[in-house]
Amino acid sequence: MTTRSDLMEIYRQLSKAYGPQHWWPGETPFEVMVGAVLTQNTNWTNVEKAIDNLRRRELLSPGAIYDLEAEELAGIIRPAGYFRVKARRLKNLMDWLFENFDGDVERTFATSLRELRAMLLSVNGVGRETADSILLYAGNMPTFVVDTYTYRVLTRHRLIDTEADYERMKELFEESLDEDAGLYNEFHALLVRVGKEHCRPKARCEGCPLEELPHWIQQEW
């Protein structure tokens, strides 16, 4: 059975090993929004190239992307991969932003967390992780972000069954931890960090900050 202390122990170990992650530092909420879409199933370094392309052209604003043709936008964000679908998704998000909030990102976060999450999920191209990333990292709203790394760490340490879906994993964190956006922010970033460096498919756990914690069956990888 998973308890608050299991998760807090993971947090302590990761925090001790890696320190503050400063996720999405110095970026505006709008940049976080764009990044959340561009990073879907994509390495962050590729996303940075795409965002730099937008910035250099002074197109990193809601109005600029709203006005761009999807085809032209696609060419600019090409390094992020899936550039045609992502161009469409960014355009959908801008349409939503202007229809509901007059293109003002800050105004969106005056809406309640539950309502805004539902609204974001109604945008074609915005799924649960993208919505939660925007809410947490752009809006500083207390919603836990789950991703493939979260799943790997949780299952590898037998903190959840392998059939668990997104909402179940999200619940686990939110039920166990204080409702604290700062904690959720740091915890998720740390899970990504350990996922990238250690908790990879087929990888062993030697040298992992969580090596001393109980594990799933090692020989499966």
Q: How far is the CB of 67 from DNA (least distance, A)?
A: 21
CA dihedral 99, 63, 87, 53 (to 10 degrees): -160
Q: How far is the CB of 198 from DNA (least distance, A)?
A: 11
C-alpha to C-alpha distance for 173 and 161, rounded to whole angstroms? 14
Task: Of 109, 120, 128, give the one whose Cα is nearest residue 29.
Answer: 109
Task: Output 27 or 174, the one with its CB closest to DNA.
Answer: 27
C-alpha to C-alpha distance for 153 and 157, rounded to whole angstroms? 6
Q: How far is the CB of 49 from DNA (least distance, A)?
A: 6
Task: Of 63, 38, 42, give the one whose Cα is nearest residue 52.
Answer: 38
Q: How far is the CB of 199 from DNA (least distance, A)?
A: 9
**Site map for DNA, 35-74, x if CB under 7 A?**
xx--xxxxxxxx--x------------------------x
CA angle 82, 88, 92 (to 5 degrees): 140
Please check whether residue 130 is in contact with residue 159, taking contact to mean a CB–CB distance below 8 angstroms: no
> Is 201 a binder of DNA (CB under 7 A)?
yes
Q: How far is the CB of 3 from DNA (least distance, A)?
A: 26
> Is 149 a binder of DNA (CB under 7 A)?
yes
DSSP state letter for 134: I
DSSP state letter for 79: G
> Is 181 a binder of DNA (CB under 7 A)?
no
> Is 192 a binder of DNA (CB under 7 A)?
yes
Number of residues that bind DNA (CB under 7 A): 42
**Site map for DNA, 68-87, x if CB under 7 A?**
------x---xx-xxxxxx-
C-alpha to C-alpha distance for 208 and 195, rounded to whole angstroms? 10
- Binding-site ranges for DNA (CB under 7 A): 23-24, 35-36, 39-46, 49, 74, 78-79, 81-86, 123-131, 133, 137, 147-149, 192, 195-196, 200-202
